């Protein structure tokens, strides 16, 4: 039920190996084109740039111009953009490459590429040398292994060192795996400043959405929903947000429209999270089972957390035959009762199948695993509604998990039984229409006011 995000979108630069030492055309980009950077980081970058731009003044103040910067963070957060913007701000020629462009089987080839890269950059100062995925080149020596990679890294360290004339050369490295980097590479004088480029928070996502909607025509309804979009895309990177609007635009163009409408955006969100759609379900029995399963999730979500469902569908997408998409909120520290509601909602698909079809299907395996993980975390942290107790014994832990599982199943059954009319209505409408949006679901569920606290939990 709960959606899993796919792997990274918007991979970084891929350089052809033998092009590793050539200057790369620089897009017309400034720091303002990068959204979601923490204020403190922006200030530090501006300070760093002013030192680089005015080295004489910096020397008078006793400040050394930085030689190397490291940007680290999850994929698609704008590290490459940042390197480009920095090069642009200081009017530098941009040499961009990927760490893997220096890894070769032939001893000495990688090292000679590093040398050539620095030599070329020194001929065109000021220059920025940007190496993405630097962990492929500057990984920890003992783990990295191999004579060739050792030689290449040593050459990089030599080139970065003051022994060479590096005036007017700024080295910027980026990685998703800072923990993999060699200590010697990270030492000040080689890498002077390290910046974490995180996944954007709600405000950051809003800024990035603004950047990527500039120049696109959006329906009024879509404009009005951009704040909610920023809130509901927790965990999305800048690259994913950018791809969201690209996908939505393509769909609008495909349908001969100028404007991106709500349907385009919904389509793009689902596509980003789950992958492409498959054909609609033809087998009536399977379609009914999926409608019952998804209605189970949707009912419990709408009852325990009104307004939390974005949509429910029985049109297959990616690996899922159907799914209920939540409105994602910022991560917050969940309490025991919230986690119990979540477990109930996750198990509700299988429970609904059992109540209405007598047995559940293999389709619940992902749900069960997800519920089990949450229950295990609850037991491991002593997170119960009525007490804070830790269990250290394996057998006791299993018993506790079984107890919570049973409690969640009981609560789910009760909620479905108590709201049978709404549940059956949901199944029918979902079966007919195949996709329902959050407001339609909530309307059906709210059609009879249920007093949750009156329910007996078995
Ligand atoms: P990787 O670690 O995979 O190399 P990266 O951090 O270098 O990724 P970029 O290549 O800079 O990410 O981002 C890819 C694309 O995603 C950019 O060209 C841009 O369109 C969009 N993007 C990413 N982050 C941001 C951001 N903070 N603001 C605006 N757009 C962004």
* Sequence-distant contacts of 371-375: CB under 8 A, at least 24 apart: 371/343, 371/346, 371/347, 371/405, 371/408, 372/401, 372/405, 374/339, 374/342, 374/343, 374/346, 375/343, 375/401, 375/404, 375/405, 375/408
Residue 9 Cβ contacting ligand 1 at under 6 Å: no
Going by pLDDT thresholds of 50, 70 and 90, the confidence category of residue 265 is: very high
Q: Degrees (nearest 5) of the Cα angle 415, 418, 419? A: 85
Token digits of residue 24: 């790369």
In this prediction, residues 364-387 reach a mean pLDDT of 89
Token pair recorded at residue 150: 């050792």
Residues in contact with 179: Cβ distance below 8 Å, sequence separation at least 6, in sequence order: none
Last residue of a domain, one of 196, 212, 237: 196
Residue-level pLDDT at 104: 67
389-417 pLDDT per residue, tens = 888 888 899 999 999 999 999 999 999 99
Last residue of a domain, one of 274, 294, 320: 274
Q: Cα 365 to the chain's mean position, in Å?
A: 24
Average predicted confidence (pLDDT) for the chain: 85
Structural domain includes residue 4 = no
Place of tokens 């009981």: 410
Quick check: helix, strand or coil at residue 234? coil
What distance in Å separates the CA atoms of residue 349 and residue 365, rounded to the nearest whole number?
Answer: 11
What value does the mean pLDDT take over residues 311-317? 87
pLDDT of the residue at 440: 94
457 part of a folded domain: no
Greater pLDDT, 375 or 61: 375
- Determine the Cα–Cα distance for residues 428 and 434; give it in Å rounded to an integer: 10
d(CA 161, CA 185): 10
User: Is residue 458 in some structural domain?
Assistant: no
Residue with tokens 């084109």: 33
Highest-confidence range of 123-132, 228-237, 264-273, by mean pLDDT? Answer: 123-132
Residues 211 and 184 placed together within one structural domain of the fold: no
Share of the chain above pLDDT 70, in %: 88
In this prediction, residues 319-341 reach a mean pLDDT of 80
**Would the pTM of this model clear 0.75, i.e. be above it?**
no
Q: Are residues 42 and 91 in the same domain?
A: yes
Give the rounded percent of residues in the chain with a pLDDT score beyond 90: 53
Q: Is 444 found in the same domain as 361?
A: yes
Euclidean distance between CA atoms 111 and 155, whole angstroms: 6
Same-domain check for residues 348 and 431: yes
Write the CATH number for 418: 1.20.58.760
> Does ligand 1 come within 6 angstroms of the Cβ of 68?
no
Residue 192 CA to chain centroid, in angstroms? Answer: 28
Of 79-83, 321-325, 453-457, the range with the lowest mean pLDDT is 453-457
Among candidate residues 196, 221, 244, the one where a domain is terminated: 196
At residue 355, the pLDDT reads 96
Residue 456 covered by a domain: no
In a domain, 392, yes or no: yes
The verdict on 248 and 135 lying in the same domain is no
Q: How close is the Cα of 257 to the center of ligand 1, in Å?
A: 28
179 CA to middle of ligand 1, Å? 21
Q: Of 340, 352, 322, whose CA–CA distance to 424 is shortest?
A: 352
CATH number at residue 172: 3.40.50.300
Sequence-ordered strand ranges (E) for 305-372 = 309-313, 323-326
**Which of the residue ranges 15-29, 296-310, 390-404 would you say has the lowest mean pLDDT?**
15-29
**Domain of 400, in residue numbers:** 284-451
For 141-180, the pLDDT digits (tens) are: 755 557 777 888 999 999 998 666 888 899 999 999 998 8
Please check the confidence at residue 96 and state whether its pLDDT lies above 50: yes
Task: State phi, psi for 255 to the nearest 5 degrees.
Answer: -90, 10
- Can you give the pLDDT at residue 426? 96
For 288, phi and psi rounded to 5 degrees?
Answer: -65, -40
Q: Which residues contact 432 (CB under 8 A, 6 or more apart)?
A: none
pLDDT single digits (tens) 34-43:
999 988 888 8
Tens digits of residue pLDDT in 40-65: 888 888 888 888 888 788 788 888 78
Q: List the CATH number of the domain containing 243.
A: 1.10.8.60
Do 248 and 329 reside in the same domain of the chain?
no
Does residue 166 sit in the same domain as residue 265? no
Distance CA 400, CA 404 (A): 6
Separation between Cα atoms, residue 98 and residue 133, nearest integer Å: 6
Q: How far is the CA of 80 from the centre of ligand 1 (A)?
A: 6
**One domain for residues 177 and 209:** no
Are 378 and 335 spatial neighbours (Cβ–Cβ below 8 Å)? no
- Residue 89 falls within a domain, yes or no? yes
Statement: residue 33 has pLDDT above 70: yes
Reported as a pLDDT band with limits 50, 70 and 90, residue 371 is very high
Q: 378-402 b/e with 16+ CB inside 10 Å = b?
A: bbeeebbeeeeeeeeeeeeeeebbe
The answer to whether the CB of 208 is under 6 A from ligand 1 is yes
- My answer on whether 298 and 366 are in the same domain is yes
Least confident window among 21-25, 185-189, 262-266, 336-340 = 21-25
> Of ligand 1's atoms, which has the minimum distance to the CA of residue 211?
29
Q: How far is ligand 1, taken at its centre, from the CA of residue 79, in Å?
A: 6
Closest CA relative to residue 246, chosen from 256, 230, 260, 229: 260
238 within ligand 1 shell (Cβ under 6 A) = yes
* pLDDT at residue 7 greater than cutoff 70: no
Q: How many domains does the chain have?
A: 3
Task: Say whether both 189 and 214 belong to one domain.
Answer: no
CB 193 within 8 A of CB 70: yes
Catalytic residue positions, numbered: 294
**Per-residue confidence (pLDDT) for residue 144, from 0 to 100:** 55
Kindly state the average pLDDT of the residues 416-431: 96
Instruction: Give the C-alpha separation, 16 to 287, whole Å.
Output: 48
- Residue 448 pLDDT more than 50? yes
How many C-beta atoms lie closer than 10 Å to residue 173's C-beta? Answer: 30
Q: Are residues 152 and 251 in the same domain?
A: no
Cβ of 81 below 6 Å from ligand 1: yes
pLDDT higher than 50, residue 188: yes
Is residue 254 located within the same domain as residue 324? Answer: no
| Residue 17: pLDDT band with limits 50, 70, 90 | very low
User: Does the pLDDT value for residue 15 go beyond 50?
Assistant: no
pLDDT at 283 over 90: no
Q: Is residue 61 part of a domain?
A: yes
Round to whole Å and give the CA distance between 455 and 458.
9
Distance CA 374, CA 388 (A): 16
> Which among 247, 370, 207 has a CA at the least distance from the CA of 297?
370
Please list, in sequence order, all residues whose beta carbon lies within 8 angstroms of the beta carbon of residue 425, skipping any fewer than 6 positions away. 444, 447
- Work out the pLDDT band at 270, boundaries 50, 70, 90: confident
Chain mean position to CA 179: 20
3 in a structural domain: no
């Amino acid at each position: 039920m709960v959606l899993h995000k796919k792997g990274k979108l918007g991979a970084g630069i891929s350089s052809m190996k033998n092009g590793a030492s050539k200057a790369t055309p620089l897009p017309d980009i400034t720091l303002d084109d990068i959204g979601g950077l923490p204020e403190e980081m922006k200030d530090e970058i501006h300070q760093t740039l002013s030192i680089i731009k005015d080295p004489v003044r910096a020397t008078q103040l006793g400040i050394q111009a930085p030689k190397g910067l490291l940007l680290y963070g999850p994929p698609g957060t704008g590290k490459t953009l940042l390197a480009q913007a920095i090069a642009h701000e200081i009017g530098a020629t941009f040499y961009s490459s990927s760490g893997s462009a220096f890894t070769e089987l032939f001893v000495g080839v990688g090292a000679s590429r590093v040398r050539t890269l620095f030599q070329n950059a020194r001929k065109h100062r000021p220059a920025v040398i940007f190496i993405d995925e630097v962990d492929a080149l500057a990984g920890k020596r003992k783990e990295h292994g191999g004579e060739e990679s050792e030689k290449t890294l040593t050459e990089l360290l030599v080139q970065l060192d003051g022994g060479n004339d590096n005036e007017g050369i700024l080295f910027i490295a980026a990685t998703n795996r800072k923990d993999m980097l060699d200590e010697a590479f990270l030492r000040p004088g080689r890498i002077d400043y390290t910046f974490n480029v995180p996944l954007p928070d709600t405000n950051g996502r809003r800024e990035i959405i603004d950047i990527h909607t500039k120049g696109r025509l959006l329906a009024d309804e879509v404009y009005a929903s951009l704040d909610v979009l920023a809130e509901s895309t927790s965990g999305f990177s800048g690259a994913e947000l950018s791809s969201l609007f690209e996908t939505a635009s393509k769909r609008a163009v495909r349908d001969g429209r100028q404007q991106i409408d709500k349907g385009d955006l919904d389509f793009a969100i689902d596509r980003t999270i789950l992958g492409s759609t498959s054909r609609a379900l033809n087998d009536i029995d399977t379609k009914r089972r999926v409608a019952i399963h998804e209605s189970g999730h949707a009912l419990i979500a709408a009852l325990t957390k009104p307004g939390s469902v974005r949509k429910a569908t029985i049109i297959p997408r990616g690996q899922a035959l159907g799914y209920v998409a939540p409105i994602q909120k910022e991560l917050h520290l969940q309490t025991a009762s919230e986690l119990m509601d979540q477990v109930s909602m996750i198990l509700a698909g299988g429970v609904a199948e059992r109540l209405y079809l007598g047995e559940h299907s293999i389709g619940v395996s992902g749900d069960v695993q997800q519920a089990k993980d949450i229950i295990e975390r609850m037991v491991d942290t002593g997170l119960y509604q009525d007490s804070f107790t830790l269990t250290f014994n394996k057998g006791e832990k299993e018993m506790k998990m079984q107890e919570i599982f049973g409690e969640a199943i009981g609560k789910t059954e009760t909620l479905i039984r108590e709201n049978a009319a709404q549940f059956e209505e949901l199944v029918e409408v979902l079966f007919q229409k195949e996709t329902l949006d959050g407001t339609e679901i909530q309307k059906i569920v709210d059609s009879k006011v249920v007093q949750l606290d009156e329910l007996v939990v078995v």
